[in-house]
Chain A
Amino acid sequence: GAGVSQTPSNKVTEKGKYVELRCDPISGHTALYWYRQSLGQGPEFLIYFQGTGAADDSGLPNDRFFAVRPEGSVSTLKIQRTERGDSAVYLCASSPTGSETQYFGPGTRLLVL
């Protein structure tokens, strides 16, 4: 079946602009995660959704970052007033109910100029 998909695959923006990154989880998966991966490092947790609600958003670095999952499926990560330090690969993962196994998408490579 289809895996986790993320769009766009690449995004180049200018400092100060607003960006939205989209994640389509595996169909039926109730849990959805966002991570950020800088070059040469392991992914860093941002936020975890169980259904429509954010169960844990402790990894969001500041209030410029926000994520939604209004219907419990597709999720959008929103970054306001982007900064050069936001440049990274943003990864999305999903899990079925009751499972800790996370399946990752290919990521969105964000470059802030």
Chain B
Amino acid sequence: GENVEQHPSTLSVQEGDSAVIKCTYSDSASNYFPWYKQELGKGPQLIIDIRSNVGEKKDQRIAVTLNKTAKHFSLHITETQPEDSAVYFCAASRDSNYQLIWGAGTKLIIKP
């Protein structure tokens, strides 16, 4: 079955700097890759997603890149702000069942 690995587990960056979180997946049939942000005590919130027919997608300060050959995808956050502090999860799924397989999460800390 699918396995998603996420790195790093914790990332601390200075406010205003960029943050990059990386994930790899094992199932070449996976074709949908969302990123979720989870704040303490809340459910995951979708921030951006990408399908396998696209190599990059951007939404304001957030971008996701996908390398299908290498089976890895990354989240890029530019001009980080204090409110970006949270746990970020990557996930992968395939069309046949839409079941999301999740990474272990990255705790992002924005230092003032």
Interface positions of A (Cβ within 8 A of B): 4, 31, 33, 35, 40-45, 48, 55-56, 58-59, 91, 95, 100-107
Q: Which of B4, B43, B103 contacts A91 (CB 8 A)?
A: B43
Report the nearest B residue to A3, measured CB to CB: B43
Find out whether the CB atom of B43 lies under 8 angstroms from the CB atom of A104.
yes
Known: A91-B43, A101-B46. A41 touches B100 (CB 8 A): no
* Given A31-B98, A101-B46, 15 more pairs with CB closer than 8 A: A33-B99, A40-B104, A42-B4, A42-B6, A42-B91, A42-B104, A43-B44, A48-B99, A59-B99, A91-B43, A100-B34, A101-B34, A102-B34, A103-B46, A104-B43
Kindly identify which residue among A41, A42, A45, A107 contacts B99, using a CB–CB cutoff of 8 Å: A45
Summed over the interface, the residue pairs from A and B with CB atoms below 8 Å come to a total of: 61
Q: CB-nearest residue of chain A relative to B32?
A: A100
B24 cross-chain contacts in A, Cβ below 8 A: none
Please pick, from A45, A95, A107, the residue contacting B43 in the complex, using a CB distance under 8 A.
A107
Closest 5 pairs between A and B when the two form their complex, measured CB to CB: A42-B102, A104-B43, A106-B43, A100-B32, A45-B99
B57 vs chain A, min Cβ distance (A): 13
**In angstroms, how far is the closest chain B Cβ from the Cβ of A112?**
19
Collect the chain B residues with CB atoms within 8 Å of residue A55's CB: 97
Known: A41-B104, A100-B32. A106 touches B99 (CB 8 A): no
Interface residues of B in 93-111 (CB under 8 A from A): 93, 95, 97-105
Interface centre among A4, A102, A103 (most CB of B within 10 A): A102
6 A-B pairs whose Cβ atoms sit less than 8 Å apart in the complex:
A42-B6, A42-B91, A42-B102, A95-B98, A101-B46, A102-B100
Contact assessment for B105 and A91 in the assembled complex, using a CB-CB cutoff below 8 Å = no
Q: Cα distance A48–B93 when bound, in Å?
A: 13
Find chain A residues with CB under 8 A from B105 CB. 40-42
A103 proximity list for chain B (CB < 8 A): 46
- Which residue of the partner chain, among A4, A42, A48, A95, contacts B103 with CB atoms under 8 Å? A42
Q: Check if B28 is an interface residue, CB within 8 A of chain A.
A: no
